[in-house]
Amino acid sequence: MRRSIYDEDHEAFRSSVKEFLDRQVIPNLDEHASEKAMPRELWLEAGRQGFLGLEIPEQYGGAEAGDYRFNAVLTEELAKVNMALPSCIGIHADIVAPYLVHLTNEEQRERWLPGFCTGELLTAIGMTEPSGGSDLAGLKTTAVKDGDTFVLNGSKTFITNGYSADMVVVAARTAPEKKARGISLFGVEAGMEGFSRGRKLDKVGQPESDTAELFFEDVRVPEANLIGELDTGFIHMMTFLPQERLGSAVTNISHAAQILEETIEYCKDRKAFGQSIGNFQHNKFLLAELVTQVEVCQAFVDNAVLEHCDGKLTAIGAAKAKWWSSQVQNEVLDHCVQLHGGYGFMNEYRVARAWQDARVTKIWAGSNEIMKELIGRDLGF
């Protein structure tokens, strides 16, 4: 199906992303997987190419694109390679960026944004805690005011870029009695005394991404590192979560479409009983269903992207795009594995790795159950 949300500028940008991936990323993926992280040199190159600062004002070194479709193009191309890339780069360039652009003061922008654009200041966001991620309002990490610092105690887990990040946007409780209205955000910088990280976590998929636990033991965070207003962190997170969920949807459907395309080629080449396996009516009909599912989902996600560009994407619209795209992605990839037969279970086959990589999309960025909870509440229940 022809897509109409992008124009020539977006497609030119897509070509530059593809070239970067072909030359700098794809040849080194095995190394990234064994290191469980993307090397800093790759971040710096992404910065030089202008991929990290799409949302950042020009005066701080960004592109100030003012058009989310450029983020979407970047995300789509990264997802076609694997799921770890849009996860790591997306957390920095797509998810943390709005916090640093819209909630910071001038001093913070000057301090953080130039390095953010070049890749010298790699970021992460720490919301989830070992005791729970779905119930964000119940988070337990505390930040207690003491003079002109906040003393931070607690821990975070499953934090993407957590091991390598130079700065983590951390959600902490500043007013215990106020629950959701007692949470604030802080820029916790590498090297702050009492801030430590656990090992890189061993995941079922996405071995190329760095995912870590973070620990805060009496970390003195200067008041100057408070991001946004005191006690309004929960509202800030709710404001930016739709963009996070939209980015997740863009990733999911692009990834599924790419692996399905590769699977269709496989079904043309692979022979059984003297013919291509795609010619068996069961498989032909299955592929017809999968292609339709992907295209219908793509149309919904494209519409959500356009709504976001117009400032009209609601939290409910983003929740629908997130859960549905991850459901479609996982169903499609499961069938793709099946169509590859035994090869589909071999790690050296892209389809096997893609299937492992995709499983988390029903869990992260707000689990699918939480997405349905939000949608259900909006129906009046």
Ligand X SMILES: Cc1cc2nc3c(=O)[nH]c(=O)nc-3n(C[C@H](O)[C@H](O)[C@H](O)COP(=O)(O)OP(=O)(O)OC[C@H]3O[C@@H](n4cnc5c(N)ncnc54)[C@H](O)[C@@H]3O)c2cc1C
Only one of the segments 47-55, 126-134, 223-231, 311-319 lies at the binding site for ligand X (rule: CB under 6 A); that segment is: 126-134
Residue 30: phi and psi, rounded to 5, are -60, -40
Closer of 137 and 299 to ligand X (Cβ): 137
Decide whether 154 or 366 has the Cβ nearer to ligand X.
366
Check: CB of residue 231 under 8 Å from CB of residue 215.
no
- x/- letters, 81..120, toward ligand X (CB under 6 A): ----------x-----------------------------
Q: Is 177 a known active-site residue?
A: no
Per-residue exposure over 318-351, b if at least 16 CB sit within 10 Å of its own CB, e if not:
bbbbbbbbbbbbbebbebbbebbeeebeeeebbb
Nearer to ligand X, 294 or 352 (CB): 352
Token pair of 71 as six digits: 């983020």
Provide, rounded to whole angstroms, the least separation between the CB of residue 212 and ligand X.
Answer: 9
Tell me the two tokens of residue 273. 């009983």
Q: Please report the DSSP string for 183-217 in residue order.
A: EEEEEEETT-TTEEEEEEP--SS-TTS-EEEEEEE
Write the Ramachandran bin of 8: left for phi over 0, alpha for psi from -120 to 50, otherwise beta.
alpha
Stretch that binds ligand X, among 22-30, 39-47, 189-197, 363-371 (CB under 6 A): 363-371
Rule CB under 6 A: say whether 378 interacts with ligand X: no
Q: Is 159 in the site for ligand X (CB under 6 A)?
A: yes
Residue selected from 203, 220, 270, 284 as contacting ligand X according to rule CB under 6 A: 203
Catalytic residue among 58, 244, 295, 369: 244
Binding footprint of ligand X, residue count (CB under 6 A) = 22
Binding flag, residue 370, ligand X (CB under 6 A):
yes
Query: What residues from 127 to 146 belong to the interface with ligand X (CB under 6 A)?
Result: 127-128, 132-134
CA dihedral 225, 229, 231, 232 (to 10 degrees): -120
Nearer to ligand X, 158 or 266 (CB): 158
Binding span for ligand X by CB under 6 A among 144-152, 212-220, 226-234, 357-365: 357-365
Q: Would you count residue 125 as binding ligand X (CB under 6 A)? A: yes
**Nearest one of 144, 145, 127, 123 to 136, comparing CA atoms:** 127
167 binds ligand X (CB under 6 A): no
Q: Which of 71, 141, 211, 254 binds ligand X (CB under 6 A)?
A: 211
Element (H, E) at 354: helix 350-358
Burial status of residue 162 (CB atoms within 10 A of its CB: 0-12, 13-18, 19 or more): buried
Cβ of 286: how many Cβ atoms within 10 Å?
A: 16
Residues annotated as catalytic (active site), given as ranges:
244
Residues that bind ligand X (CB under 6 A): 91, 124-128, 132-134, 158-160, 203, 211, 360, 363-364, 366-367, 369-370, 373
